[in-house]
A and B are shown apart, each in its own frame.
Chain A
């Protein structure tokens, strides 16, 4: 295990592959069962039972859905732009999974004497004696989040259908305007943490100094970011790009079979990712009771926070009706964006006057 490849010890590569596998499987399973959980939760919120026919309590429903979509006929509209049409689902899906690379899902654990930080894009530098991770993690996440919209816009445009085009146009306008507010909403976080690295941001929140309650500005920022994140991943109060009642199915109207499933997976993978980012930035990431002394507990706290936030998105979906397009735009540009800008200024002023967080 002491072999060195490209200047890094062998265990680094082994740990990396293991972490990628674990994170990928976690996201995939969460995506599959998020669909089931959503149907169950919304069902019960509407005093129904939700899916219960496939397997005990309908637990095999995601597998049945997947198989059904897999065996369906693949339809490519005759007048569509074939290349873009085939490419779009991948462009939508891949960034959703890639974002997870920068998210720390646990504290540094020790396996066979080697320290392994539970974050894909990170390793433990024995020379410096600390965890080195992507130092522009936040930037990386924002960049990938904005890539996801290309898949949707391409899908809408290449389908050569009016509904799809309208869905794609809405998606581009909505995602671009809410990305701005979401980006600004997390600026106070790295002003306080003093770093763009997600590892450092979680470290700054260790010991229950979570940003959601350690500073009034980040408290507002939490909700602001969460709302913007919902808009960015087209979740319900802001699901205009695929508004069923108006646009049939929006940008994915012309898609069928596995390509449709990929858009579906992208939506839920984005949901997992966005909840993971919110948990990392504002809810202390993997921090929880004894997470520093017993590092193996930390992934459990992280998963619990992510699942809580996902439950919240489903809860919101069961409650809040869709915004009208002009309401969406005025909310984004006239309310959320100015609020986010105010938060940045207030955090800066408070910081220069010596107030960072309630915990000093």
Chain B
């Protein structure tokens, strides 16, 4: 019969040694985790020359599997096409990143922002102003 005490004593030694280790807990609300470079969080519309790069080509709402993007094209003073309306419904978004892949003008990216909880449904609708890249 194997000695029944040694495994218990060994285990107790290990737990005791862990007692004096520094906890690996991330003190979350105070300390934010470092997200990976290619993390797919909240979208951002890239800005160039003080306006969104988006040309309202409708590729992103077309490719979106969750159908959460709504774009409406408009015409600016230079007769260029631009996104008059650009909305992403974050309640439907599945963070697949297809919209970013599809974008022909590299106008869309995904940020490391992941704290998207909110109190009202309407707060999950991200309109263009909320999506514009923060510099």
Residues on A close to B: CB < 8 A?
Answer: 41, 43-49, 315-316, 318-320
Give me 14 other A-B pairs in contact (C-beta within 8 A), A44-B21, A318-B15 excluded: A41-B19, A44-B19, A45-B16, A45-B19, A46-B18, A47-B18, A47-B21, A47-B22, A48-B24, A49-B23, A49-B25, A315-B12, A319-B12, A319-B14
Pick from B16, B24, B27: contact of A47, CB under 8 Å = B24
Min C-beta distance of A51 to chain B, whole Å:
11
Do the beta carbons of B11 and A43 come within 8 Å of each other?
no
Q: Given A316-B12, A319-B8, A320-B11 in contact, is the A44-B18 Cβ separation under 8 Å?
A: yes
Do the beta carbons of B15 and A315 come within 8 Å of each other?
yes
Do the beta carbons of A48 and B23 come within 8 Å of each other?
yes
Pick from B8, B21, B24, B25: contact of A320, CB under 8 Å = B8
Q: What are 10 pairs between A and B in contact, CB < 8 Å?
A: A43-B23, A44-B18, A44-B19, A48-B23, A49-B25, A316-B12, A318-B15, A319-B8, A319-B12, A319-B15
Residues on B close to A: CB < 8 A?
Answer: 8, 11-12, 14-16, 18-19, 21-25, 27
Min C-beta distance of A210 to chain B, whole Å:
22
- Give the distance in Å from the alpha carbon of A47 to the alpha carbon of B22 in the complex: 7
Name the prevailing secondary structure of the A interface residues.
Answer: helix
Q: Of all chain A residues, which has the CB nearest B23?
A: A49
- Give the distance in Å from the alpha carbon of A45 to the alpha carbon of B23 in the complex: 9
- Give the distance in Å from the alpha carbon of A215 to the alpha carbon of B18 in the complex: 34
A contact residues around B18 at 8 Å (CB): 44-47
- Give the distance in Å from the alpha carbon of A41 to the alpha carbon of B18 in the complex: 10
Do the beta carbons of B11 and A48 come within 8 Å of each other?
no
Return the 5 tightest CB-CB contacts between A and B, nearest first: A319-B11, A49-B23, A45-B15, A319-B15, A49-B25
Do the beta carbons of B23 and A44 come within 8 Å of each other?
yes
Do the beta carbons of A47 and B23 come within 8 Å of each other?
yes
A contact residues around B24 at 8 Å (CB): 47-48
Min C-beta distance of B112 to chain A, whole Å:
25
- Give the distance in Å from the alpha carbon of A48 to the alpha carbon of B26 in the complex: 9
Min C-beta distance of A322 to chain B, whole Å:
14
Q: Of all chain B residues, which has the CB nearest A237?
A: B8
Q: Of all chain A residues, which has the CB nearest B24?
A: A47
The listed residue with most B CB atoms (<10 A of its CB), out of A43, A48, A318, is A318
B contact residues around A47 at 8 Å (CB): 18, 21-25
- Give the distance in Å from the alpha carbon of A46 to the alpha carbon of B16 in the complex: 10
